[in-house]
Chains A and B, each alone.
Chain A
């Protein structure tokens, strides 16, 4: 009778700590952060003293100056969503790694922040330009629904905060499902021909309508806000990593 040999169970090894944050390769060091500080100061100066007053705007065209702050925020609110969606796909398809989930969550949190900033700056513009801070314009309605999409994501994560794996899975699926209405609201609804909108649309769609003095400020503004997004993304992600490591250490103790 052949005896079956059973191997003793291998000792359970403690899980290795998650790897530390590695910044985006071209953005190592502090030089670009100081560059961002100077670039944003240039944008603020240029918004008032380089760009000329725009035609077809009230207050001698001064109301249009908000474009340098409003449009980058509005675009970044969607870019942040796209970043979150990419990490959500990576989480679901590749590694099921909680660090990837943390990156996706960071994108959504920052998207919410930039969405709020775009809403406030847009509302200020509407108040001066059209006499009412809120007009239920198609773009205004779209951004309200976007805010609700972001807020729902944060509520969802908060509701299952005790189970990180489940939270990550649900959050990733939500991000991808909500990507469809988000894309529709931002890129399709405001361009539907039968919806009349007060919102100016020619700044980016027809660059020929934008003067050189505006471009000299608007394009650096896009770069400055993008760098600001990257910096805030890094900070938030590093903080989440530290918190995860601390929680893991407390569990081991």
Chain B
């Protein structure tokens, strides 16, 4: 495992971790909004 390759690999890996965390955040936010929306319907 060369250190150069490791450094280059870290770039897409960190980018992917960022995208993944962002998608999870959007997913949770949407779920919360859907729950609020459902509660508003029931009122």
How would you classify the secondary structure of chain B's contact residues: helix, strand, loop or mixed?
Answer: helix
Q: Which of A17, A33, A231, A232 contacts B41 (CB 8 A)?
A: A17
By the criterion of a CB under 8 Å from any partner CB, how many residues of chain B are at the interface? 21
Flag if B5 contacts A33 (CB, 8 Å): no
Whole-angstrom distance from the CB of A116 to the nearest CB of chain B?
A: 15
Chain B residues near A40 (CB, 8 Å)? 16, 20
Contact (A44, B13) CB under 8 Å given A20-B34, A49-B1, A242-B30: yes
By the criterion of a CB under 8 Å from any partner CB, how many residues of chain A are at the interface? 24
Q: Which of B1, B6, B17, B30 has the most CB of A within 10 A?
A: B30
Contact (A239, B30) CB under 8 Å given A17-B41, A44-B13, A44-B16: yes
- Report B's interface with A, CB cutoff 8 A: 1, 5-6, 8-9, 12-13, 16-17, 20, 23-24, 26-27, 30, 33-34, 37-38, 40-41
Supplied contacts A21-B34, A44-B9, A231-B27, 12 more A-B pairs, CB within 8 Å: A33-B23, A37-B20, A40-B20, A41-B16, A44-B16, A47-B9, A48-B6, A48-B8, A49-B1, A49-B5, A239-B30, A245-B37
